[in-house]
């Protein structure tokens, strides 16, 4: 009886390990490689020094320029201007603008001011497969439409727009940010 069991086990092992059986075994799929994190730059990126925060009068000018551009294009926008800390200085919701976009416009402006860069940068990082961005700040908004306001080489605040597509939001914010030089 032992001989029969041993023979059956040996035959099974040979059949299992034969080249034909091995060739039919599907190869496991290799997981996609994580995208590269970039390199080590020689200089600090987005190293804009902070200046004195934007005041209400300048914020009104930024909002007026952004609103005029939005009206020209017939786009209904929410427009927010924040200071260097990301605190709201002025907010405007145009007639008929999407209500949910109000806090988003403020979030885009905050993201841009606090990180000293356009909010689109974070959108691009997410699109590149780097989900770590979501761990940086719970209030971070990774979407186009937040622009830093830089005057005399110093950050004085940021403008954020929301209500259209990301590119529409960015186009309106860009016009508002160009008021500040």
Q: What is the pLDDT of residues 22-63, one digit of tens each?
A: 455 555 566 556 556 666 777 888 889 999 999 999 999 999
In a domain, 140, yes or no: yes
Domain containing 118 equals 56-177
Task: Find the CATH number of the domain harbouring 165.
Answer: 3.30.450.150
Contacts of 74 (CB under 8 A, 6+ apart): none
In a domain, 46, yes or no: no
Domain count, the chain: 1
Going through 61-178 in order, the beta strands assigned E by DSSP cover: 78-82, 88-93, 146-151, 154-162
Checking if the pLDDT of 102 tops 70, the result is yes
pTM: 0.77
In a domain, 64, yes or no: yes
Higher pLDDT, 113 or 38: 113
Question: Based on the number of CB atoms within 10 Å of its own CB, is 11 exposed (0-12), middle (13-18) or buried (19 or more)?
Answer: exposed
Nearest to 150 by CA among 177, 121, 114: 177
Helix (H, G, I), strand (E, B) or coil at 116: coil
Query: How far is the C-alpha of 80 from the C-alpha of 126, rounded, in Å?
Result: 24
pLDDT of residue 40: 77
């Amino acid at each position: 009886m032992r001989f029969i069991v041993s023979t059956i086990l040996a035959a099974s092992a040979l059949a299992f390990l034969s080249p034909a059986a091995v060739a039919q075994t599907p190869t496991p799929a290799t997981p996609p490689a994580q995208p590269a994190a970039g390199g080590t730059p020689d200089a600090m990126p987005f190293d804009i020094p902070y200046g004195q925060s934007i005041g209400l009068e300048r914020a009104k000018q930024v909002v007026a320029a952004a609103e005029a551009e939005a009206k020209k294009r017939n786009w209904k926008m929410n427009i927010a201007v924040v200071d260097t800390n990301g605190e709201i200085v002025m907010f405007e919701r145009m007639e008929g603008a999407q209500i949910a976009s109000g806090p988003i416009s403020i979030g885009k402006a905050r993201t841009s001011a606090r990180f000293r860069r356009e909010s689109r940068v974070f959108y691009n990082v997410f699109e590149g497969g780097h989900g770590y961005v979501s761990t940086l700040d719970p209030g971070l908004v990774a979407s186009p439409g937040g622009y830093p306001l830089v005057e005399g080489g110093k950050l004085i605040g940021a403008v954020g727009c929301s209500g259209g597509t990301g590119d529409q939001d960015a186009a309106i914010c860009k016009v508002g940010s160009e008021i500040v030089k």
